[in-house]
């Protein structure tokens, strides 16, 4: 090892292990030699057997942490370094503490990256439910409300009629800035129950035996739906919602 002839060192430690199987020192040293030539999987195997054989052997834990980190397992590396610090006692050696802090920082970066991906999804899944130019696909909302977009009479008004309502237009703007709002709205149990109760059978309109679609004011008269609209409109819909429903806030 001192001569950095790692292949020869691996061979010598292998021969020694044939004589003294599962010797934690030989295994740990061979793990270090494997890591030196980037054979990290073999290094992990040797170091793992070494710590299983002798959990108090701190150097083996440190070498296990190094190999895991090199393989991209920052969490596993942090756990190994932590065990090494505990085995060393007195807060651990500087080398082991440095390894632990490096692995910990990497784990924190990975967690932050995962949080960013969740908060700002991209690709096809992010645009699900959106129409042209990122506008929410209100036809899906229309279907949930009891009919297909474009139907007249007592059924669901067409898309132009929907978007001509300033309140709905404002909600659409909020949908654009927060695509998950559409899904949250559709998943609201109370709203879904209300829509099921007023929608025609099998999506048929009032002219074909179904029941008519209530106006927006009727929906907003319900306190829960009014609160949802208020949230979607950034708090600006309080007075409008009350006026539309015929009963303002008190």
Range with the poorest average pLDDT among 18-32, 66-80, 169-183:
169-183
Q: Is 4 exposed, middle or buried (0-12, 13-18, 19+ CB in 10 A)?
A: exposed
R_g of the chain computed on alpha carbons: 32
Residue 208 belongs to a domain? yes
Tell me, what CATH number does 93's domain have?
1.25.40.10
Last residue of a domain, one of 67, 84, 119: 119
Residue 209 belongs to a domain? yes
55 and 134 share one domain: no
Please check whether residue 249 is in contact with residue 238, taking contact to mean a CB–CB distance below 8 angstroms. Answer: yes
Residue 1 belongs to a domain? no
Task: Give 222-238 pLDDT, tens digit per residue.
Answer: 666 666 666 665 554 44
Query: In angstroms, rounded to a whole number, what is the distance separating the alpha carbons of residues 14 and 123?
Result: 50
Last residue of a domain, one of 75, 97, 119: 119
What is the predicted pLDDT for the residue at 118? 83
What is the predicted pLDDT for the residue at 35? 97
Average pLDDT, the chain: 74
Last residue of a domain, one of 104, 119, 134: 119
Give the residue-averaged pLDDT of 50-71.
97
What is the predicted pLDDT for the residue at 82? 97
Beta-strand ranges (E) seen in the chain are none
91 and 145 share one domain: no
Domain extent for 132: 126-245
Residue 82 belongs to a domain? yes
Instruction: Tell me phi and psi for residue 238, to 5 degrees.
Output: -55, -55
Task: Give 37-54 pLDDT, tens digit per residue.
Answer: 999 999 999 999 999 999
Task: Give 175-221 pLDDT, tens digit per residue.
Answer: 666 666 666 666 666 566 656 655 544 444 444 444 455 555 555 66
What is the predicted pLDDT for the residue at 122? 56
218: Cβ contacts below 8 Å, ≥ 6 apart? 245
107 and 13 share one domain: yes
233 and 161 share one domain: yes
Confidence of residue 249 (pLDDT cuts 50, 70, 90): very low
76 and 136 share one domain: no
188 and 114 share one domain: no
Residue 87 belongs to a domain? yes
30 and 109 share one domain: yes
Please check whether residue 70 is in contact with residue 39, taking contact to mean a CB–CB distance below 8 angstroms. Answer: no
Count: domains in the chain:
2
153 and 50 share one domain: no
29 and 94 share one domain: yes
Confidence of residue 146 (pLDDT cuts 50, 70, 90): very low
């Amino acid at each position: 090892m001192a001569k950095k002839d790692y292949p020869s060192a691996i061979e010598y430690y292998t021969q020694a292990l044939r004589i003294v199987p599962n010797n934690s020192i030989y295994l740990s040293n061979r793990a270090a030699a494997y890591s030196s030539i980037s054979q990290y999987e073999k290094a992990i195997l040797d170091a793992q057997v070494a710590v299983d054989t002798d959990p108090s052997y701190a150097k083996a834990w440190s070498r296990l942490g190094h190999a895991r980190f090199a393989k991209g397992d920052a969490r596993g590396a942090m756990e190994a370094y932590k065990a090494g610090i505990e085995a060393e006692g007195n807060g651990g050696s500087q080398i082991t503490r440095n390894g632990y802090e490096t692995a910990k920082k990497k784990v924190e970066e990975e967690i932050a990256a995962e949080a960013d991906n969740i908060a700002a999804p991209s690709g096809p899944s992010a645009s699900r439910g959106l129409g042209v130019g990122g506008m929410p696909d209100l036809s899906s909302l229309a279907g949930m409300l009891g009919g297909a977009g474009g139907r007249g009479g007592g059924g669901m008004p067409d898309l132009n009629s929907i978007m001509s309502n300033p309140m709905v237009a404002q909600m659409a703007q909020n949908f654009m800035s927060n695509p998950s709002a559409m899904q949250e709205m559709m998943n609201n149990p109370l709203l879904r129950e209300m829509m099921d109760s007023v929608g025609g059978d099998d999506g048929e309109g009032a002219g074909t035996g179904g029941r008519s679609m209530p106006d927006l004011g009727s929906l907003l008269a319900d306190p829960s739906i009014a609160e949802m609209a208020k949230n979607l409109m950034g708090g600006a819909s309080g007075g409008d919602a009350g006026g539309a429903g015929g009963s303002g806030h008190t």
